[in-house]
Amino acid sequence: MRLLLLLAALLAFAGGAAAQTTTTTMSVRDGGGAAQSLRADKNGDNSLATHNVPEVAGAAVSASNPLPTAPAPSSASSAGIAPTPSPSVGSNLVLKASAGNLYSITLSNASAGGFLMIFNLASAPADGAVTPAYCWPLNGGGFGSFGFVYPAYFSTGITAVLSSTGCFTKTTGPTGFFVGQIQ
C-alpha cells in the first residue's frame, strides 16, 4: 500500500495535461532483497494503474533485454553436445587438453569407493596433495552424475580423476567409466 501511495505521489508531481498519460517506473526491493520493477500510469482521467514489470539481470524486460527462452527441440547435430567417454575403465580421463566448458560429468564406479575430482589441467596430476576445481564422494559400485546449470569454464584443460583418499590428496586406486560433456 505504501508503494502505491508513493507512486501516486510521484505521478502527482509529474503533472501533465488532462488528456495526457504520465508514466513513472521505479525499481524496489522486497524484504528478501529481490528487485521488482513497478510502473504506474496516470491516465488523462486521473485514474492510477500499476503494473508489475518483469526483470532480467536487474533490468526491465524490453526488446533489447528479452526474457530468456529454452532452445526448441532439434535433431540437428549442432544442437547437441556429444559425449566424451573413456575408452575403457580407468582412474582418470582427460576430457579436453585445452581451455573449454564442462557441462556434465558422469562416473560409474566399478571398484572401491572414492572421490571424483575435476581439475583445470590438461593431464592428470601425480599422486599427492592436489587442489581440484570440484570434488564429489562416490560409493563403491556406485554411480555419480553431476551437471551445471551454466557450464563450468576451465582455462587450461578439463581432467576427471577418481581418487581413493579425499578431495585434497590424490591416490590412484579405484577405477570407473567416465563420460563428460564438454565444449
Same domain for 116 and 166, yes or no, is: yes
Same domain for 163 and 131, yes or no, is: yes
Read off the amino acid at residue 153: Y
Q: What is the pLDDT of residue 160?
A: 94
Question: Grid coordinates in use for 24?
Answer: 513513472
Same domain for 103 and 167, yes or no, is: yes
| Residue 123 domain-assigned (yes or no) | yes
| Residue 70 domain-assigned (yes or no) | no
Range(s) of the domain holding residue 163 = 83-182
Return phi, psi of residue 4, to 5°. -65, -40
pLDDT-based confidence at residue 103 (cuts at 50, 70, 90): very high
Q: Tell me the per-residue pLDDT of 8-42, one tens digit each, with 9 for 90 and over.
A: 444 454 554 445 556 555 555 555 555 555 555 55
Same domain for 23 and 87, yes or no, is: no
Q: What is the pLDDT of residue 39?
A: 56
| Residue 174 domain-assigned (yes or no) | yes
pLDDT-based confidence at residue 126 (cuts at 50, 70, 90): very high
The whole-angstrom separation of Cα 86 and Cα 170 is: 19
Q: How many separate domains does the chain show?
A: 2
- In a 13 Å sphere around the CA of 32, the CA atoms on its Cβ side amount to 2
Are 164 and 114 within 8 A, CB to CB?
yes
Same domain for 178 and 95, yes or no, is: yes
Range with lowest mean pLDDT among 28-32, 53-57, 115-119, 173-177: 28-32
| Residue 74 domain-assigned (yes or no) | no
Q: Tell me the per-residue pLDDT of 59-97, one tens digit each, with 9 for 90 and over.
A: 777 777 777 677 778 888 777 888 889 888 889 999 999
